[in-house]
């Protein structure tokens, strides 16, 4: 779609930016306010950057940008991690920082190759803590089959940071023929998730709030590149516990590679945010079957206690897939056989009706609308 080059961003921000003169925690929550901020401030400015010539028609935002260099299609993405606390059941900020970017690359159908790592350290951070975080990144990179090849370190005064923030950017190679994008989602597509929802968010909340669920709740943070490889390429199916993408540069496409239309990993805002964004961007409706959506007992219990909806709670190792109906059974079978999927399920359909809207059908036949929250349930979850 065409877009203008606004002269003054502060002046041209639509609601809800006009409601607030300052940044709110909710602007970082993965909901409506973040989307408005990104649309009104960042996308408008940066789509107009470059050589000053007309920018190409705007693509729906996806987890990675795909750019062409010397004939190769490269996925390029960035993510900063500010999770609090730094260590939580099942993971830590270092592991999140590697897996988060690896997963964003994989959702574009790319093989993750190289990461950068930028650290903002707060004066007074114990070096032992930093050592543990970095060792965790090293192990996570090895497990994901990526190399961390460049880095940067800054230190800010005590009280101007919070221990450590980590940015990772990543480059991956999109193999020929692979097209994974919200643009390809069409009515009729089957919607699947790779496992149960809400573990990461509730594990972090549990330790942050001292709820005592620590034993039962562990983050699901995990690299998904091997799983995507298994969906897209023959022989890409991991054996044993390996989740790293295969080294084969020219593997043949899998039987149903072309039927896998869109992949999205579930992070801030959970399943609801991912599906609302895709429904809006692809101008399709989405209908979910509430009874089919996998949520574990401990997550359901903790959510009930805190008054949270698990559909909005963050994951860090789960993906949602939109696939052509003919491929759905095969995709579910691949997921069931893969060590990075944990209780995969078919949860709904893409429909032509109510474009832009996600509807959940309950057990008793009643429906409710899922919308992007304007704010957020849990700040600093990743």
Nearer to its own copies, 91 or 161 (CB): 161
Which residues make Cβ contacts (< 8 Å) with residue 20, sequence separation at least 6?
Answer: none
How would you classify residue 335: left for phi > 0, otherwise alpha for psi between -120 and 50, otherwise beta? alpha
In sequence order, the 6+-apart residues with CB closer than 8 A to the CB of 172 are: 64, 74, 75, 105, 106, 108, 110, 111, 112, 113
Count of chain residues binding its own copies (CB under 8 A): 92
Residues 86-115 that bind its own copies (CB under 8 A): 113-114
Local structure of residue 39 (DSSP, 8 states): I
Out of 3, 39, 87, 134, the only residue in the binding site for its own copies (CB under 8 A) is 134
- 149 part of the interface to its own copies, by CB under 8 A: yes
* Angle at alpha carbon of residue 153, lines to 152 and 155, rounded to 5°: 155
Q: At what angle do helices 127-144 and 93-106 cross, to 10 degrees?
A: 30
> Which whole-number Å values give the CA distances from 165 to 42, 93, 130, 146, in the listed order?
21, 8, 11, 20
Ranges within 13-72 binding its own copies (CB under 8 A): 13, 17, 20-29, 34, 37-38, 41-42, 45-46, 48-52, 64-65, 67, 69-72
Q: Is residue 141 part of the contact set for its own copies (CB under 8 A)?
A: yes
Binding residue (CB under 8 A) for its own copies from 15, 85, 160, 368: 160
Which residue number, 50 or 356, has a Cβ lying nearer to its own copies?
A: 50
Asked whether position 251 contacts its own copies by CB under 8 A, the answer is no
Interface with its own copies includes 242 (CB under 8 A)? Answer: no
Q: Given the complex with its own copies, which of 6 and 355 has the nearer CB atom?
A: 6
Angle formed at CA 214 by CA 317 and CA 342, multiple of 5 degrees: 30
182 scored as a contact of its own copies (CB under 8 A): no
- 4: contact with its own copies by CB under 8 A: no
Is position 252 an interface residue for its own copies (rule: CB under 8 A)?
no
93 vs 286 by CB, closer to its own copies = 93
**Options 2, 4, 14, 128; binder of its own copies; rule CB under 8 A:** 128
Residue for token digits 């001292």? 210
Residue 192 tokens read as: 């699947």
In whole angstroms, how close is the CB of 202 to its own copies at the nearest point? 20
159 vs 307 by CB, closer to its own copies = 159
Structure tokens at 13: 């921000």
Q: Which is nearer to its own copies, 43 or 293 (CB)?
A: 43
């Amino acid at each position: 779609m065409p877009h203008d080059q606004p002269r003054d961003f502060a002046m041209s921000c639509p609601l809800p930016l006009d409601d607030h003169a300052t940044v709110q925690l909710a602007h970082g929550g993965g909901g409506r306010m973040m989307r408005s901020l990104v649309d009104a401030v960042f996308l408008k400015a940066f789509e107009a950057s470059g050589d000053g010539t007309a920018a190409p028609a705007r693509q729906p935002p996806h987890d990675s940008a795909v750019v062409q260099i010397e004939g190769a299609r490269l996925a390029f993405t960035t993510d900063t991690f500010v999770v609090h606390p730094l260590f939580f059941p099942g993971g830590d900020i270092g592991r999140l920082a590697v897996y988060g970017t690896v997963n964003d690359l994989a959702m574009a159908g790319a093989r993750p190759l190289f990461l950068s790592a930028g650290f903002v350290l707060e004066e007074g951070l114990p070096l032992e803590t930093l050592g543990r975080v970095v060792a965790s990144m090293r192990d996570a990179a090895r497990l994901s089959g990526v190399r961390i090849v460049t880095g940067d370190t800054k230190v800010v005064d005590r009280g101007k940071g919070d221990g450590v923030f980590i940015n990772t950017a990543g480059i991956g190679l999109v193999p020929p023929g692979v097209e994974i994008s919200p643009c390809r989602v069409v009515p009729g597509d089957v919607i699947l998730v790779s496992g149960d929802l809400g573990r990461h968010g509730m594990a972090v909340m549990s330790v942050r709030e001292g709820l005592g669920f620590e034993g039962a709740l562990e983050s699901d943070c995990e690299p998904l590149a091997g799983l995507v490889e298994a969906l897209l390429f023959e022989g890409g199916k991991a054996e044993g516990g390996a989740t790293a993408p295969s080294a084969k540069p020219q593997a043949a496409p899998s039987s149903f590679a072309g039927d896998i239309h869109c992949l999205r990993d579930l992070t801030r805002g959970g399943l609801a945010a991912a599906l609302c964004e895709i429904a809006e961007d692809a101008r399709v409706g989405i209908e979910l079957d509430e009874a089919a959506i996998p949520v574990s007992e401990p997550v359901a219990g903790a959510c009930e206690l805190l008054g949270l909806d698990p559909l909005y709670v963050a994951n860090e190792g789960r993906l949602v897939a939109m696939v052509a109906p003919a491929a759905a059974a095969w995709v579910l079978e691949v997921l069931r056989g893969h060590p990075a999927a944990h209780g995969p399920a078919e949860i709904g359909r893409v429909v032509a009706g109510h474009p832009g809207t996600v509807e959940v059908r309950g057990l008793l036949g009643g429906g409710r609308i899922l919308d992007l929250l304007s704010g957020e349930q849990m700040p600093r979850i990743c």
